[in-house]
Structure 1
Amino acid sequence: MAELDDDERSVSATFDLSCQELPPDQRRMFALLTVHRGPDIDVSGAAALAGTGVRQAERLLDRLCKARLIDHAGPGRYRLLDQVRVFAAEHAVLPLADREVAAGRLLDHVLGMAEAADVLLSPHRYRPDFGLPPATSGFAGLAEAKAWLAVELPNLVALCRTALVYGVYNRCWQLAYTLGGYFYLARLWDPWIETHTMAIAAARNLGDQRAEAMTLNNMGVAYVDRGERDQAAACYQRALGLFRVVGDEHGLSNCLVNLAWVRHYQGNHAVALRDMWRAVEFYRHAASAGNAAITLRGIALMQVDMGAVTYAIRHAADSLAAFRRLGMTLDAVLALNILGHAYFKVGNHTRAAACYREAIALSEQNGSRSEAARAELGLSRIATAAGRADEAAGHLARAERLHPAAGDH
Structure 2
Amino acid sequence: MLPHLAPTEDDAPAPPLLIFTVTGMGGIGKTALAVEAAHRARARGWFPGGFLFVDLRGYDDAPMTADQAVLALLDAMGVRGPDLPPTARRQYDAYHALLTERRNRTLLILDNASDPSQYLPLLPGTDHHRVIITSRDRSDALPARLIDLETLTPGDSESLLTRAVLDTDERDDRPAREADALHELTELCGHLPLALQIAAGMLRRRRHRDIASLVTEIRGAADPTAVLDKGSPGKDVYGRSLVLGPVLETSYRRLPPAQARLLRLLALAPGADTSTEAICALADLEEPVALGLLEDLAAAHLVLPVRCVDGRDSAVRWGLHDLVRAFGVGVVSGDAGLREEGEAARERVLGWYLRWADAADDRLRWLPGMPVPERFGEWGEALAWFDGERAGLVAAVGWGREERFAQEAVRLALCLGEYLYWRRYFDDWIAVAEARREAAGRTGDRLNEAGAWNNLGVALREAGRVEEAVQAHTRARDLHQAAGNRPREASAWNGLGNALGEAGRVEEAVQALTRARDLHQAAGDRPGEAMAWNNLGLALREAGRVEEAVQAHTRARDLYQAAGDRTREASVWNNLGVAQEEAGRVGEAVEAYGTSLEIARECEDWYGVGLALYNLALLHQTAGRPAQARPAYLEAADAFTRANAPDKAALARTQATALPE
The question of a shared fold, defined as TM-score above 0.5 by the shorter chain, is answered with yes
Alignment of 1:73-222 (within 5 A): 73-74=306-307, 75-91=315-331, 95-123=338-366, 138-165=375-402, 167-222=404-459
Between the aligned partners of 2:300 and 2:631, the Cα distance in structure 1 is 54
One-letter code of the match for 1:87?
F
Aligned to 1:128: none
Partner of 1:68, secondary structure, is: coil
Moved more, 221-230 or 276-285: 276-285
One-letter code of the match for 1:238?
R
Structure with higher RCO (Cα < 8 A, 6+ apart) = 1
Between the aligned partners of 1:273 and 1:72, the Cα distance in structure 2 is 53
Shift of 1:11: 5.6
Question: CA contact under 8 A between 1:103 and 1:163: conserved in structure 2?
Answer: no
Alignment of 1:33-44 (within 5 A): 33-44=266-277
Partner of 2:416, secondary structure, is: helix
Deviations 1:343-391 (A, max 9, x none): 2112222221221122122222333222211111110121112211121
Question: CA contact under 8 A between 1:192 and 1:219: conserved in structure 2?
Answer: yes
Aligned to 1:346: 583
Moved more, 385-394 or 16-25: 16-25
Between the aligned partners of 1:166 and 1:341, the Cα distance in structure 2 is 48
Aligned to 2:298: 65
Between the aligned partners of 1:298 and 1:152, the Cα distance in structure 2 is 32
Shift of 1:8: 7.7
Aligned to 1:31: 264
Alignment of 1:318-329 (within 5 A): 318-329=555-566
One-letter code of the match for 1:182?
Y
Aligned to 2:511: 274
| Residues 76 and 187 of structure 1, relative CA distance in 2, 3 Å threshold | closer
RMSD across aligned C-alpha pairs, in angstroms?
Answer: 2.4
Question: CA contact under 8 A between 2:332 and 2:342: conserved in structure 1?
Answer: no
Between the aligned partners of 2:269 and 2:503, the Cα distance in structure 1 is 43
Between the aligned partners of 2:241 and 2:529, the Cα distance in structure 1 is 62
| Percent identity of equivalent pairs | 25
Question: CA contact under 8 A between 2:270 and 2:391: conserved in structure 1?
Answer: no
Partner of 2:340, secondary structure, is: helix
Alignment of 1:246-285 (within 5 A): 246-266=483-503, 268-285=505-522
Shift of 1:323: 1.1
Deviations 1:70-99 (A, max 9, x none): 121123421112232122222355532222
Structure with the higher helix share, 1 or 2: 1
1:405 counterpart = 2:647 = yes
Question: CA contact under 8 A between 2:357 and 2:415: conserved in structure 1?
Answer: yes
Moved more, 146-155 or 335-344: 146-155
Shift of 1:19: 2.2
Aligned to 1:130: none
Between the aligned partners of 2:241 and 2:582, the Cα distance in structure 1 is 67
One-letter code of the match for 1:86?
A
Question: CA contact under 8 A between 1:276 and 1:295: conserved in structure 2?
Answer: yes
Between the aligned partners of 1:223 and 1:329, the Cα distance in structure 2 is 26
Partner of 1:307, secondary structure, is: coil
Between the aligned partners of 1:319 and 1:209, the Cα distance in structure 2 is 31
Aligned to 2:461: 224
One-letter code of the match for 1:329?
R
Moved more, 50-59 or 197-206: 50-59
Shift of 1:188: 1.8
1:335 counterpart = 2:572 = yes
Partner of 1:73, secondary structure, is: strand
Moved more, 10-19 or 22-31: 10-19
Partner of 1:321, secondary structure, is: helix
Shift of 1:165: 4.8
Between the aligned partners of 2:281 and 2:598, the Cα distance in structure 1 is 39
Between the aligned partners of 1:206 and 1:86, the Cα distance in structure 2 is 30
| Residues 227 and 83 of structure 1, relative CA distance in 2, 3 Å threshold | closer
| Residues 83 and 264 of structure 1, relative CA distance in 2, 3 Å threshold | closer
Q: TM-score, normalised by structure 1?
A: 0.89
Partner of 1:34, secondary structure, is: helix
Partner of 2:268, secondary structure, is: coil
Partner of 2:613, secondary structure, is: helix
Question: CA contact under 8 A between 1:213 and 1:243: conserved in structure 2?
Answer: yes
Aligned to 2:250: 17
Gaps of 5+ in 1: 125-134
* 1:233 paired residue among 462, 466, 470: 470
* 1:288 paired residue among 508, 525, 539: 525
| Residues 163 and 270 of structure 1, relative CA distance in 2, 3 Å threshold | closer
Deviations 1:146-168 (A, max 9, x none): 22222322222222224435741
Aligned to 1:373: 610
Shift of 1:300: 1.5
Question: CA contact under 8 A between 2:270 and 2:393: conserved in structure 1?
Answer: no
Q: Which runs of at least 4 in structure 1 moved beyond 6 Å after TM superposition?
A: none
Shift of 1:217: 0.4
| Residues 9 and 157 of structure 1, relative CA distance in 2, 3 Å threshold | farther
One-letter code of the match for 2:500?
R
Shift of 1:174: 2.5
| Residues 9 and 116 of structure 1, relative CA distance in 2, 3 Å threshold | farther
| Residues 18 and 160 of structure 1, relative CA distance in 2, 3 Å threshold | same
Question: CA contact under 8 A between 1:107 and 1:163: conserved in structure 2?
Answer: no
Between the aligned partners of 1:166 and 1:57, the Cα distance in structure 2 is 29
Between the aligned partners of 1:242 and 1:318, the Cα distance in structure 2 is 30
Structure index of larger Rg: 2
One-letter code of the match for 1:53?
E
Shift of 1:267: 5.1
Between the aligned partners of 2:449 and 2:592, the Cα distance in structure 1 is 39
One-letter code of the match for 1:355?
A
| Residues 66 and 375 of structure 1, relative CA distance in 2, 3 Å threshold | same
Question: CA contact under 8 A between 1:100 and 1:166: conserved in structure 2?
Answer: no
Question: CA contact under 8 A between 1:323 and 1:329: conserved in structure 2?
Answer: yes
Question: CA contact under 8 A between 1:257 and 1:295: conserved in structure 2?
Answer: yes
Q: TM-score, normalised by structure 2?
A: 0.57
| Residues 8 and 68 of structure 1, relative CA distance in 2, 3 Å threshold | farther
Deviations 1:195-215 (A, max 9, x none): 222222212221211111100
Shift of 1:243: 1.5
